[in-house]
Structure 1
Amino acid sequence: MKKLILAVFTLLSFQSFAQQTEQDAIKQTINTMFNAMRKGDSTMLRSSFAKGIVFHSVANKKDGSTALEIENPNDFIKLIGTPHKGIYDERITFNDIKIDGPLASVWAPYKFYLDDKYSHCGVDVFQLMKTTEGWKIIYIVDTRRKDNCPE
């Protein structure tokens, strides 16, 4: 009986360690994206994305309605890689990471700064898939606002 209990605890510990390792790898992929933004490095940025990545933003319109905005990932990559004034500094908190085999979902509140000047906040939701090259971002949807920022 002691051996069975020990085996169960060992298996659970291994699964917990494997889950944590996967979460760390997922965080690294997302952090690579934000480091690339801060550096203005489009090659580094592209390395965190899977081919066919999709960008959306849920926007509040002036009339109070909500709209889904479709954004072009290539335009974003070009924006990051084009010399510009200021550092694009998006600061996130990893609130929730869910993993099912090769699919992961991440909920991450953020605050965006241009250099050290606050611009806006919201939540980023990332979908990632595990590839032979590691975790890659396949989908990003976000919200954006100036106040009532998540902590």
Structure 2
Amino acid sequence: MKKLLLASCFLALAPAAFAQTSPAETAAVKKTITTFFDGMRKGDSAMVRSTLAPGVVLHTIMSRNGAVQTGTEKAAEFLKLVGTPHKEVYDERISFEQVLIDANLASVWTPYQFYVGPKFSHCGYNSFQLVKFTEGWKIVHIIDTRRKEGCK
């Protein structure tokens, strides 16, 4: 009976042990996301592109007239928006609430506030999925929520 209890405890704790990652790996994941937003602020589409994996998927969740909707944005359109000269800075301010890593997969949860220049536009949460390729961590999927009220 003691052996069964001990084995059960080991199995219950095993996933947590395998999911642990080094602070350096967590920092590398955060750097990819930070570079993405630094590129947005600079209007540098090449900098943003350097953080994205081929075939990256960009989704958003919105509520319009009380109905939940999802939208997909093509990466090329997003990069064009970022890289086309514009007067105001696109400033998405995030904080890293949760970073989970297992092997070559990372999942990151970040609350954000978005400003166009000094003017608040909207807020929400980003969920990033990243994969570690030979050249480093790349974003393969972003999905976010958008709202104007109830912001952190």
Short-chain TM bin = 0.7 to 0.9
Matches of 2:144 and 2:104 in 1, distance apart?
Answer: 22
Match of 2:5 in 1: none
**Correspondent of 1:28 among 31, 40, 52:** 31
Task: Count matched residues.
Answer: 134
Amino acid across the alignment from 1:23? T
Give unpaired runs (5+ residues) of structure 1: 1-14
Deviation, 1:121, is 0.3
Give unpaired runs (5+ residues) of structure 2: 1-18
Matches of 1:81 and 1:68 in 2, distance apart?
Answer: 24
**Correspondent of 1:117 among 116, 119, 122:** 119
Q: How does 1:74-89 map to 2 (within 5 A)?
A: 74-89=76-91
Q: How does 1:91-106 map to 2 (within 5 A)?
A: 91-106=93-108
Percent identity reads 51
TM-score by structure 2 length? 0.85
Matches of 1:114 and 1:47 in 2, distance apart?
Answer: 23
**Correspondent of 1:90 among 83, 89, 92:** 92
The answer to whether the aligner puts 1:57 opposite 2:60 as a matched pair is yes
Matches of 1:33 and 1:99 in 2, distance apart?
Answer: 19
The answer to whether the aligner puts 1:66 opposite 2:68 as a matched pair is yes
Matches of 1:103 and 1:112 in 2, distance apart?
Answer: 27
The answer to whether the aligner puts 1:48 opposite 2:81 as a matched pair is no
TM-score by structure 1 length? 0.86
